[in-house]
Amino acid sequence: MKRTGAWIAVRALEALGIKYTFGIPGVHNTELYDELNSSAQITPVLVTHEGGAAFMADGMSRTSDLTGTLVIVPAAGATHAASGIGEAFLDGVPMLVICGGIRTDLDKRYQLHELDQHAFLKPLTKATFLVTRHEDIVPTLFKAWEIAHSGEPGPVFVEIPVNLQMFPGDAGDMPLPPLIAKAQRAAPADIRSAAEMLLAARHPALFVGWGARDASHEIRAIAEFLQAPVATTLQGLSVFSAAHPLHTGFGFGAAAVPAARNAFADCDCMLAVGTRFAEIATGSFGVTVPPNLIHADINPAVFNANYPARVSLEGDARAVLGLLLEELQHLGTARPANAELQQRIQRDKTAYNEEWLRHDSGDKVNPAVFFNALRTAVPDNAITVVDDGNHTYLTAELFPVRCPKTLIVPTDFNSMGYAVPAAIGAKLANPEREVFAIVGDGAFTMTCMEIVSATRLGLGLVYYVFHDGELSQIAQAQEIPFNRKPCTALGAIDFNGVAIATGAEYIRVASNSEVPQAIARARELAAVGRPVIVDLIMDYSKRTAFTQGAVKTNFKRLPLAQRLRMVTRAVTRKITG
């Protein structure tokens, strides 16, 4: 039977279980949008900017089993969406990017939106496809979905030319949708070696990242069996519950909080799972990794990239750790509860929180006061969406995350502007759960108009905006070496005006005493389907452990001559003003 390419594509997306698409209609995808409008299963979501569409799709994929899917126009739509596509690529997030294309049945050049999209998007995706025949549409979309979810997940780009969308052609047979098998390639001998190393260690420890997000049960069981402290990467904050007595926090080196630094100080065998030991996770490579490193990851390219592993275990984290747990139980016996270790971790956590609470924030909001109140107010299964900036590390250090996959954050690509749209995608995927965002004022200004989409969709989201008037993470990095902060002052921004423009509610919080009531009111408004902007006049004068540690690490890595030059410049400017 002959069908239009648009009809065929939408049927394929339905077969893949797609529930939402994100994008903007244009000349080269109006046929797709017309068919999406007729679908009983798929809801196309209009966005204000394709970058927002990609972040929405990302938020949906990270917080559910749904596949975040874009339907965008070629050229400008693809370039606008590129930041969100790149974020998903570096963070290991599955995404389908369906794009219209110029007519391929014409012998004309310089068509509207004509661009080699595949050359542009190749470095940002796992694969790109150009469909040339109607009968290839379904197999291509199925293959794209399979690639997006296989191995280390990521985005896949499919271009469907507008003439295929518009004109009828042979639809071909509808194959069964692909199934994804969880790979486990680690050799039994390597599993045994890893178990023997962990059992022989005096002070084993676990370091877990985003790749271990589906293995929380196995991680907890191994940690308890070994009585080993557990630290997470930034992206992996929700992999291991902060309520567990063996949880230490984000990172484990010089840029980590005291609980993690102290618990990992004497680590003689490390089990690292689902982490690449990337720059942020290691505090600018400022960690000391023991020679007895066991590294488990689904992507073998990460092994020995930054730190050599004694044993490498390739495969899906849940499958690999399940086998490792069985081998540990077969070879040894569980260690008794290490009360001394657990009490020290808790003391360090309490002392760090109290140190923040003692900090005088003057007439602004103390970050610890806010996060303590927020943790008391919101349920453990609420989803926290965090943007990129100083607020990111405040969240990582001061907000305990207790349930798996309840905090998402852009990492490695580190795209500012993530949180506002990503929260929309997370809420659409999880309508029954509370979703809120932690976002700095600089990041908020990048995508705040996307709240228009939340208002139109009736989504109850709370945006906690950390308002200090600077791009503070960079401003803090500038202050000491430069003794000035060029080009990081945001100027006066009226976020109440943003609320009026986008249809959101607005709450201003200028002091610690206002925090609990503001959180309660924001949650009440969100519960009835209203987006809320909570404008927190935030004190950033105290630096996070991450900022202090990463700055010191980076400085120490500089050649001596450059260190002397930077110190001389800073001192000279301090004296001369």
Output Rg (C-alpha) for the chain, integer angstroms: 25
Helix (H, G, I), strand (E, B) or coil at 1: coil
Is residue 519 domain-shared with residue 395, that is, in the same domain?
yes
**CA neighbor of 258 nearest in space, from 549, 504, 519:** 549
DSSP string, 508-545: EE-SGGGHHHHHHHHHHHHHTT--EEEEEEB---SPPH
- Other Cβ atoms within 10 Å of 40 Cβ, number: 6
**CA neighbor of 378 nearest in space, from 266, 292, 499, 460:** 460
Is residue 308 domain-shared with residue 377, that is, in the same domain?
no
Is residue 193 domain-shared with residue 163, that is, in the same domain?
no
Per-residue tokens: 421: 């749209």
Does 436 reside within a domain? Answer: yes
* Burial status of residue 255 (CB atoms within 10 A of its CB: 0-12, 13-18, 19 or more): buried
Is residue 397 domain-shared with residue 541, that is, in the same domain?
yes
Name the stretches of the chain with pLDDT < 50. none
The CATH number given to whatever domain includes residue 105 is: 3.40.50.970
Is residue 246 domain-shared with residue 297, that is, in the same domain?
yes
* 164: DSSP letter: H
Does 433 reside within a domain? Answer: yes
Is the backbone of residue 292 left (phi > 0), alpha (psi -120 to 50) or beta? Answer: beta
Domain around 530: 359-546
Is residue 471 domain-shared with residue 334, that is, in the same domain?
no
Is residue 113 domain-shared with residue 199, that is, in the same domain?
no
> In degrees rounded to 5, what are phi and psi of residue 391?
-60, -25
Contact 547, 476 (CB under 8 A): yes
Q: How far apart are CA 57 and CA 576, in angstroms?
A: 51
Q: Whole-prediction pTM value?
A: 0.94
Q: How far apart are CA 194 and CA 310, in angstroms?
A: 9
Does 182 reside within a domain? Answer: no
What integer pLDDT is reported at residue 295 of this predicted model? Answer: 98
The CATH number given to whatever domain includes residue 250 is: 3.40.50.1220
Does 509 reside within a domain? Answer: yes
Per-residue tokens: 540: 């950033």
What integer pLDDT is reported at residue 572 of this predicted model? Answer: 75
Does 300 reside within a domain? Answer: yes
Is residue 147 domain-shared with residue 20, that is, in the same domain?
yes
Q: How many residues does the chain have?
A: 577
- Residues with Cβ < 8 Å from 149, sequence gap 6 or more? 67, 94, 180
The domain tally of the chain equals 3
Cα 126 off chain centre by:
18
Distances (CA, A) of 212 to 91, 108, 295, 414, 484: 13, 50, 12, 20, 41
Q: Hey, which bits of 353-504 come out as E strands? A: 383-386, 407-408, 435-440, 462-467
Q: Which of 111, 142, 170 is the C-terminal boundary of a domain?
A: 170
Does 530 reside within a domain? Answer: yes
Q: How far apart are CA 532 and CA 530, in angstroms?
A: 6
- How do 168-170 and 2-4 pair as beta strands? antiparallel
Contact 160, 183 (CB under 8 A): no
Is residue 77 domain-shared with residue 159, that is, in the same domain?
yes
Is residue 121 domain-shared with residue 213, that is, in the same domain?
no
Q: How far apart are CA 60 and CA 215, in angstroms?
A: 20
What integer pLDDT is reported at residue 104 of this predicted model? Answer: 80
Does 537 reside within a domain? Answer: yes
Is residue 61 domain-shared with residue 92, that is, in the same domain?
yes
Helix (H, G, I), strand (E, B) or coil at 37: helix
**CA neighbor of 159 nearest in space, from 203, 91, 97:** 97
Q: Both ends of the chain: CA-CA distance in Å?
A: 78
Does 270 reside within a domain? Answer: yes
Is residue 49 domain-shared with residue 80, that is, in the same domain?
yes
